[in-house]
Amino acid sequence: MENKKKPEKFTLLFQHWKKYKNKILLTNDFGGNVEIPGEEFESICSKDCSLAVSDIPQELLDKGFAAEMIDPEKHSLSWVKRHCNVMMAPVLHIMVMTGRCNMQCVYCQAGSPGKQDKVLDMSLETAKKAVDFAFNTSSPVLNFEFQGGEPLLNWKVLADTVEYIREKEKKSARTVSISLISNFILMDEQKADFLLKNEITLCTSLDGPEYVHSKNRHSENDISYGTVRRWLKYFKERHDNQKGNSYRIFKPGAIVTVTKNSIGHAKEIVDEYVSAGLESIYLRPVSKIGYAGRNWNTIGITPAEYLDFYSEALKHIIELNKKGVTISEQACIIFCSKIFDAGNGGNYDVDSPCGAGTGQIAYNYDGSIYTCDEGRMLAMEGDDIFRIGSVDDPVEKVLTADAVRACKCASELNAQAMCSRCAYMPYCGTCPVFNYATQGSFAGDMANNMRCAVNRGQIDFILELLKEKDNEAILKKWITGSY
Amino acid sequence: MASEIIEKKIFFASSVYSAEAVDMAAFILEDKVDFVIERKDNGMEVTFNQFSENEPEIFANEVLNQQCRIDVSKVSSGLTKLIVSKALISAIGGGKRE
């Protein structure tokens, strides 16, 4: 571009725009975003397609809105960064070690039937086949995520599978990471030592202070909150005192599921995470899938309720950051990564197309493979439309199964009626499983879609926050710190 | 006492709504709404029997949603096919193995 003579006239390309208060927000497929006054937008639109440089705000020229100023290499790289799951084989391999659970959470999408029935456990043979399947895919990076039900209920198989993975890793050129999602109720020192020595990242659910957490997550004798806090403290101390170890210990993490029980306690939930020594929080709204759908009258929230909660929580998190407290919010990181051209935020369902079957796959305890964990959860409710094969099937057959193709087509936002012209399309994504479960079709109906309303509201709020330089610096630091 | 049958008809003109859009809406809502579709020369007539609340409006909304999707895909299908194909080819990695 440097050696070319600068054009005298420009052709402006307005791909997506939105009227926001008295301004117009313009975005393009390269992720560029510019806000201009409404009158200026109308003035530009009233002229011919070809405009003189004096008629155009410089920011529009700088951010890829003029056809003559598009740098194919730079701008295509920007697109690829935000949609990197289009360019890769599955990275995330979710291993559901058991359908059993020792808790009865009010929203449990796993639909866990209780801890008695061992026929719901993954056998070692099936687990090894799933690991072999994962190593037969071609991604140079593999992330195994053990979950359930409660995976510690199938401890022997889990431990043997971890050792199998590490053996295969030594003979391969892959970068392998392993994580475990657990309620920690069955955790003990012996298990903790094994997990840490095998460099497993631990993650749990902490829905807030005890009076919120216990309403969402029911356990025998109500031990869940105390157990989670105790083990988070343990793992954090092990992380902080790991000098001299021959193995790496990663910081433990936790996530929140926001339900009706959470509303009105946004600040307290954030403060709970800070007091637990956690540096990241992920404020996910409860999803109307599976068990949560049946319990919706008790726990469900509207997009408006969630967005009020989210904005209060995020404002509080920003204020804590200004006082020097290290705490970031994961949904904000996902959107800001795309807004700041730093990647796709590492999430597979806020992407176009979504990562179902290509960025991630889920192996059920019986060896069935699903497009994603949500697709698997729907199968547990009796609908296996998102089943794409089994651990005995060839990789190519599974990864190009009908459900994978359908998810890709349905979540490619250029083909979505509302999304294709939405100002937030470059930063957003839709989930075919959620759309199918709540609206009856993979593509859904965005005008009435809860996730669409939530995503739009979150991006609205984040873009508003970014108008202040202090806030922008904090959010940029979260991205650099995370990726 | 004779029960009263409430009936409502909506006509989807083929100049605006394709048969595919009406059929898709019917498929999505067949478990939730009671209706009968009759194909006519210039469109599709949908008769709703014993409906409650706003079921005919929900059906019409879904037809509109599907038609919008069909109209958009006429413009964007080339791009969508390119992206989806790339995603699927990348997923199978060109047969790379350890």
Catalogue all structural domains in chain B, each as residue range(s) with its CATH number. Answer: 7-91 (3.30.70)
- Percent helix, strand, coil in chain A, to 5, is 50, 15, 35
Q: In what order do the strands lie in the sheet with A33-37?
A: A16-20, A23-27, A33-37
Residue B29, chain A, CB below 8 Å: the answer is yes
The single residue listed with the structure tokens 């806090």 is: A229
Measured between CA atoms, the residue of chain B closest to residue A443 is B69
CB-CB under 8 Å, B61 with A408: no
Instruction: Report which secondary-structure segment, H or E, holds A351.
Output: none
Cross-chain CB nearest to A86 (options B61, B87, B97): B87
A353 cis-preceded (ω within 30 degrees of 0): yes
**The pLDDT of residue B12:** 96
* Partners of residue A396 in chain B, C-beta under 8 Å: 92, 95
3-state secondary structure of A307: helix
Cross-chain CB nearest to B90 (options A87, A414, A415): A87
CB-CB under 8 Å, B91 with A357: yes
* Partners of residue A357 in chain B, C-beta under 8 Å: 91
Q: What is the interface pTM, i.e. ipTM, of the complex? A: 0.89
* Partners of residue B97 in chain A, C-beta under 8 Å: 136, 138
* Partners of residue B21 in chain A, C-beta under 8 Å: none
**The pLDDT of residue A482:** 47
**The pLDDT of residue A263:** 97
CA angle A291, A297, A301 (to 5 degrees): 90
CA angle A43, A49, A51 (to 5 degrees): 65
Least-confidence region, from A192-206, B5-19, B71-85: B5-19
Least-confidence region, from A8-12, B67-71, B73-77: A8-12
**The pLDDT of residue A289:** 84
Integer angstrom CA distances of residue A188 from A103, A192, A195:
17, 6, 11
Distance from CA of B56 to the nearest CA of A (A): 16
pLDDT digits (tens, 9 = 90+) for B28-40: 999 888 899 999 9
pLDDT digits (tens, 9 = 90+) for B41-57: 999 999 998 777 788 99
CB-CB under 8 Å, B69 with A400: no
CB-CB under 8 Å, B94 with A415: no
pLDDT value at B97 more than 80: no
- How many Cβ atoms from other residues are within 10 Å of residue A173's Cβ? 7
Name the pLDDT band for B61 (thresholds 50, 70, 90). Answer: very high
**The pLDDT of residue A5:** 63
3-state secondary structure of A109: coil
DSSP secondary structure letters along A128-191: HHHHHHHHHS--SEEEEEEESS-GGGGHHHHHHHHHHHHHHHHTSS-EEEEEEE---TT--HHH
pLDDT value at B98 more than 50: no
Distance from CA of B96 to the nearest CA of A (A): 5
**The pLDDT of residue A48:** 63
Measured between CA atoms, the residue of chain A closest to residue B26 is A440
H-helix segments, A263-340? 266-275, 291-294, 296-299, 303-322, 330-339
- Average pLDDT over every residue of B2-6: 54
Measured between CA atoms, the residue of chain A closest to residue B87 is A86
CB-CB under 8 Å, A441 with B24: yes
With a CB cutoff of 8 Å and minimum separation 6, the contacts of B51 are B6, B8, B33, B34
Residue B92, chain A, CB below 8 Å: the answer is yes
pLDDT under 50: residue ranges of chain A: 1-2, 482-483
In chain B, the largest separation of any two C-alpha atoms, in whole Å, equals 76
Integer angstrom CA distances of residue A430 from A164, A291, A412, A413:
35, 21, 8, 8
Which residues partner with A381 through β-bridges? none
Distance from CA of A192 to the nearest CA of B (A): 31
Instruction: Report which secondary-structure segment, H or E, holds A284.
Output: strand A283-285
Residue B97, chain A, CB below 8 Å: the answer is yes
pLDDT digits (tens, 9 = 90+) for A139-153: 999 999 999 999 999
Q: Which domains does chain A have, with CATH numbers?
A: 9-82 (no CATH), 89-399 (3.20.20.70)
In degrees rounded to 5, what are phi and psi of residue A140? -70, -10
CB-CB under 8 Å, B84 with A412: yes
**The pLDDT of residue B96:** 45
Residue A16 near residue A423 (C-beta atoms within 8 A):
yes
Distance from CA of A403 to the nearest CA of B (A): 12
